[in-house]
A and B are shown apart, each in its own frame.
Chain A
Amino acid sequence: NAGVTQTPKFRVLKTGQSMTLLCAQDMNHEYMYWYRQDPGMGLRLIHYSVGEGTTAKGEVPDGYNVSRLKKQNFLLGLESAAPSQTSVYFCASSFGPLERGVVLGTDTQYFGPGTRLTVL
């Protein structure tokens, strides 16, 4: 199993350009998340999804959009990049709630390797 993978690993954009970050997981997880990590601030949740076709806002959603067309993929889009979006982006996934007899531990999130984005 590859776990959680992210594409690309690095990207440099100019202000106003757009791009999409791809997250893929092969663990059959229901829940997927996008975080950003900035120096001294810890990871902050941007958007999340509780299942295929669903998305919801996290703590810092402005300037980002997401889509979950397939259960294994979660896309993060920047329509018009700004320097304030320079950051490291992490995707994570988890099984989700305690349903169908799944034991405790299903809400453990597993993270991808990250995408380092610089906006000039």
Chain B
Amino acid sequence: EDQVTQSPEALRLQEGESSSLNCSYTVSGLRGLFWYRQDPGKGPEFLFTLYSAGEEKEKERLKATLTKKESFLHITAPKPEDSATYLCPYSISSGSARQLTFGSGTQLTVLP
């Protein structure tokens, strides 16, 4: 069964303490792996799309990487404003709708 598992469920960091979030997936025919952040009471905000193993993308303190079984979101020297829930849904190649399948997310708290 296709699925995505995110770990840890929750992570607390001190400001400036770098770390990584993990997204492990078992999917046949992966088309794309996406990263979103979601603030409380708001909709998911798009961060990155990764399409092939070895691909990397960066934005400010965030760097996303993709292997054949996992994706990592590396956070370098995080700030309190990076606190959010991070989601990594995927889409598959079959079908026309490019539907996203979500896991439960990782809740990140960055303490000042």
C-alpha spacing A50/B97, complex, angstroms? 6
Determine which of B41, B43, B91 lies in contact with A111 in the assembled complex, contact meaning CB atoms within 8 Å.
B43
Contact mask for chain B residues 46-79; partner A; CB cutoff 8 A; 1 contact, 0 none: 1001010000000000000000000000000000
Measured CB to CB, the residues of B under 8 A from A are 31-32, 34, 36, 41-46, 49, 51, 87, 89, 91, 96-100, 102-105
C-alpha spacing A108/B31, complex, angstroms? 11
How many inter-chain contacts with C-beta < 8 Å in the A-B complex? 62
Which of B87, B91, B96, B99 has the most chain A CB within a 10 Å cutoff? B99
Q: Report if A45-B99 is in contact (Cβ < 8 Å); known contacts: A40-B104, A107-B31, A108-B49.
A: yes
Interface positions, chain A 22-80, Cβ under 8 Å from B, are 31, 33, 40-45, 48, 50, 56, 58
- Name the A residues within 8 Å of B31 (CB-CB): 107
Nearest to B4 among chain A residues (CB) is A42
- Indicate if the CB atoms of A109 and B102 lie closer than 8 Å: no
Contact mask for chain A residues 87-112; partner B; CB cutoff 8 A; 1 contact, 0 none: 00010101011000000110111111
Measured CB to CB, the residues of A under 8 A from B are 4, 31, 33, 40-45, 48, 50, 56, 58, 90, 92, 94, 96-97, 104-105, 107-114
Nearest to A95 among chain B residues (CB) is B98
Q: Report if A42-B103 is in contact (Cβ < 8 Å); known contacts: A50-B96, A96-B98.
A: yes
